[in-house]
Structure formats: structure tokens, C-alpha cells
Amino acid sequence: MFTLRNAEFVTTVAAARDLPPAQGAEVAFVGRSNAGKSSALNAITGRRRLAFVSKTPGRTQYINFYRVAPGRHLVDLPGYGYAAAPAATRAQWNALIGGYLQTRAALRGVVLIMDARRGLTASDRQLILWLKPAGRPLHVLLSKADQLGRRQANVVLHDVALALRRERVDASVQLFSSTHKMGIVEAAARIEAWLAGDGHKKPPVKGE
Ligand code: GDP
């Protein structure tokens, strides 16, 4: 067995052609810029500076790979939905991330980090559209849940779960806070189960 706490940085890539060979199992982290993705990666791996918490939203346009165990990787995808990003940057992002999510053979599951105060945005829905045809399982972290009262947090949890059911996507959802260490055990268990799985139940994606 392995632990996410052994995560260590392997490589960073800026273009699909530079992706490492798709061997073993990968779990990808995605989310809007500033949703708390880097903080979540650090909290879940127990590594304070594994991923850099960004001061400038939308700045990172690279895919970072972290090795948890031989052939088991966490993949940090660049944040999206940053309105000030030029159209060309957004098009590049769509090609890189859309391509990765739809065709990556090693991808076992996707963790979507969503600010609990914002709920499901249009960009999140676009992402879900990419996951659906390939049958990628999705786990949603409703981040910064510490900013909501308990009752309000449960309303968001219920609403997002309902929205995901309506999207007919294979998804689970939980409350999460990096700063308050909320939901970390639950999230880590989900990710470790995906990484430990020997294969994907679904048939291979066209083009793989
Ligand atoms: P990323 O752009 O999605 O990687 O987001 P970051 O992890 O860089 O976080 C963006 C901002 O949200 C930073 O100022 C973080 O300190 C803050 N943040 C991240 N996670 C939490 C959380 O669980 N609770 C609160 N209150 N703030 C958070």
C-alpha cells in the first residue's frame, strides 16, 4: 500500500506533446483559478509547499506531475475560468486540458476543486462535459467550506450533488477546507482508491 504523503514533484509540461508516457494510474486535480486547488493538494499530501499557492490567479499554465508511488501520479492541471486571460491563452488551455481529460489512458479519476461559496460555474460545467463521454469518475471538493456556516454548507452540498446528478456524471461530492483540515481523510481515501485500482472498469476511450 502507499500513501499520498509520499508525493514528490516529478515534472512540469506546457504542451500535450511533452506529456510523459501514460503508464500506471493518474488522478488529476482541476478547478477555477483561486478555488484552492494548490492548497488542497498540499493539505491532502501533507506537504506544505508541494504545489505553490498562487498569488496571481490564472498565472500557471503548466501541468505538474507528482509521484506518489511507482506508476502512481497526482496531476495538477492549470486553473481555468480566469476572465482576464487572453483568448489565445484560453484556447491553448482548452486544447491542452480538454485533450488530457478526454484521452489520457492512465487517468483513473478527476478531483474538481470548487469554491463552496460559488457553487457550480459555467467553466465547471464545460469540464464535466469533457469527462462524461470518456466516463471519467469525478470527485468534487467544495473548498473553503470554513467560510460557510454548517447549515449553509449543507445546502451547498445538497445543491451541487443534485446538479451533478442532473448532469448524469459519475460523481461524488464533499465539503472541504485546507485551512481547517476538513474532509482531508475522505478526499485522500477516494484518491488512494483510484490510484490503487488495477484498471478502469470502462472500455478504453477512442483514440487511446
Ligand atoms: P488555486 O489557484 O486554485 O491553486 O488556489 P490557492 O490554493 O492558491 O488558493 C487561493 C486562495 O484561497 C489563497 O489565498 C488561499 O490562502 C485561499 N484558500 C485556499 N484554501 C482555503 C481554505 O480551505 N479556506 C480558506 N478560508 N481559504 C483558502
Minimum-distance ligand 1 atom for the alpha carbon of 113: 3
CA dist 62 and 73 (Å) reads 16
Cα of 39 to ligand 1 centre, how many Å?
Answer: 6
pLDDT digit string, tens, across residues 163-186: 999 999 999 999 999 999 999 999
- Domains of the chain by range and CATH? 4-196 (3.40.50.300)
- Residue with CA at minimum distance from ligand 1 atom 20: 36
pLDDT, position 203: 46
CA dist 47 and 197 (Å) reads 24
Minimum-distance ligand 1 atom for the alpha carbon of 57: 2
pLDDT, position 84: 64
pLDDT, position 138: 97
Low-confidence ranges of the chain (pLDDT < 70): 52-60, 82-85, 198-208
The residues lining ligand 1, judged by C-beta closer than 6 Å to any ligand atom, are 31, 33-39, 53-54, 79, 143-144, 146-147, 177-179
CA dist 41 and 75 (Å) reads 10
- Residue with CA at minimum distance from ligand 1 atom 9: 36
pLDDT, position 108: 96
CA dist 66 and 2 (Å) reads 14
Best mutation site among 37, 53, 59 for ligand 1, i.e. most ligand atoms within 8 A of its Cβ?
53
pLDDT, position 6: 92
Cα of 154 to ligand 1 centre, how many Å?
Answer: 20
- Residue with CA at minimum distance from ligand 1 atom 28: 144
CA dist 151 and 94 (Å) reads 36
CA dist 90 and 101 (Å) reads 16
- Residue with CA at minimum distance from ligand 1 atom 19: 36
pLDDT, position 198: 56
Cα of 174 to ligand 1 centre, how many Å?
Answer: 17
pLDDT, position 62: 84
